[in-house]
Amino acid sequence: MTIRRGALIGCGFFARNHMNGWAEIEGAEIVAVCDRDFAKAERMQADFGVAHAYADAEEMLRDEKLDFVDVVTTSPFHRPLVELAARHGVAAICQKPFADSQADAEAMVSACEKAGVPLAVHENFRWQQPFIEIADRIAKGRIGRPTFARISFRHGFDYYKNQPYLAEVERLSLMDIGLHLYDLARHLLGEVETLSCVTQRVNPIVRGEDAFTSLLSHAGGAVSVVECSAFAKYEPDPFPQTTAVVEGTEGTLELTRGYRLFEHHPGSVTETNVDVAVPNWGEKPWQVVQQSVVAFERHFIDVLNGKTEAQPSGAHNLGTMALALASYESAATGSTIRMKDWREGGRG
């Protein structure tokens, strides 16, 4: 078996899930970790038995023989790191948000295309087991042609305890969770033709929007509602579950809290438990998210081995980025955006 040699860049809070995931995957080995805060890199190195730790990514790429890098930094560092990897002929996984601007996202895609190396974006919601199951049933025609969907992520979880920088960013929920939800909408219903969005700032401690509601029309006639709140009050709090309804011409798929998936047809309904086992390194309520990291990473090794195309690739994620960025314009102007005409900052 070919062992793909990788390096992790960024040793913060969520990166530990990435490292635990890589430890489960045959055919992959993380041989180096890197963080500008070298103490963080050293802790990750010690905790996971990694051969080398670095404070400088360029030094690491120069010294190590790598097949890929897994970039788990904040977004301002994504473009320089992905372009650096491309210059060294190394494939890249990039954490979301892929970039802060469409121009930076396009530059990363171009750099990897010119270098001839894969670029994937870590949009892990589509790799959660409930949505793998929903997408599979849609593809098999179980509910006919999809006509409507509602994708909802509403909770009151304190993001800011482990990631305090989030409270200070000016673009919050759309660029944090919204990207995941828009990727799901595209994945399940197809490309988006028009978008309208309303944003809210509900929690007084945050600078950016922490809630939004969007209406999307899709090619082929389907419509979806995508909604998110990080300050909703429920007991018990449903975080980090995403609920969804997908209606089709022949039936409806309904994902409820507790990871219960109902398939409705005239005169009948079936229920399936689409929860997953807690990984031996994981814990509730994170199990579905943690298992999705493993599923995505395993998929990326198949990409490197030429077995499949990246889902989503950097090129595909340009469309998801466009939806998130256009949402700010829609919310600010109260307008409906026709996506084929939208350009960042009116450019093009």
102 and 130 housed in the same domain: no
Residue keyed to tokens 């409507």: 148
Kindly write down the DSSP assignment for every residue of 209-226, as one continuous string.
Answer: --EEEEEEEETTS-EEEE
pLDDT given at position 1:
78
Tokens at 296, concatenated: 């995505």
Strands (E), the chain: 4-9, 28-34, 52-54, 68-71, 91-95, 119-122, 146-154, 192-200, 211-218, 223-229, 243-248, 252-256, 260-265, 268-273, 337-338
Considering the domain architecture, whether residues 92 and 148 belong to the same structural domain is answered as no
Chunked mean pLDDT (size 10), the chain, 348 residues: 95 96 97 98 98 98 98 96 98 96 98 98 97 98 98 94 88 96 98 98 96 98 98 97 98 98 98 97 97 98 98 98 98 98 77
Q: Please indicate, yes or no, whether residues 131 and 258 belong to a single structural domain of this protein.
A: yes
Structural domain of 260: 125-279+318-333
154 and 225, same domain (yes or no): yes
Phi and psi (nearest 5°) for 188? -90, -35
The 8-class DSSP code of residue 278 comes to P
Helix (H, G, I), strand (E, B) or coil at 154: strand
Q: Read off the DSSP letter of residue 82.
A: H
pLDDT on residue 347: 46
DSSP assignment of 101-130 equals SHHHHHHHHHHHHHHT--EEEE-GGGGSHH
Whether residues 99 and 241 share a domain: the answer is: no
Res 163: pLDDT: 82
Q: How many domains does the chain have?
A: 2
Q: What is the DSSP string of 217-256?
A: EETTS-EEEEEEESS---SS--TT--EEEEEESS-EEEEE
The answer as to whether 54 is a domain residue is: yes
Amino acid at 112: C
Q: Backbone phi, then psi, for 47, in 5-degree steps?
A: -65, -30
Closest CA to 288 of 182, 180, 191, 189: 180
Q: How far apart are CA 78 and CA 99, in angstroms?
A: 7
Residue where a domain terminates, one of 82, 117, 152 = 117
What was the pLDDT predicted at 346?
A: 73
Residues 65 and 147 occupy one common structural domain: no
DSSP-assigned letter for residue 205:
T
Q: Are strands 260-265 and 268-273 parallel, antiparallel or unpaired?
A: antiparallel
Domain boundary among 52, 85, 117: 117
In a domain? residue 287: no
Could you tell me if 276 and 114 are in contact, meaning their C-beta atoms sit under 8 angstroms apart?
A: no
Question: Phi/psi at 210 (nearest 5 deg)?
Answer: -115, 10
Residues 20 and 146 in one domain: no
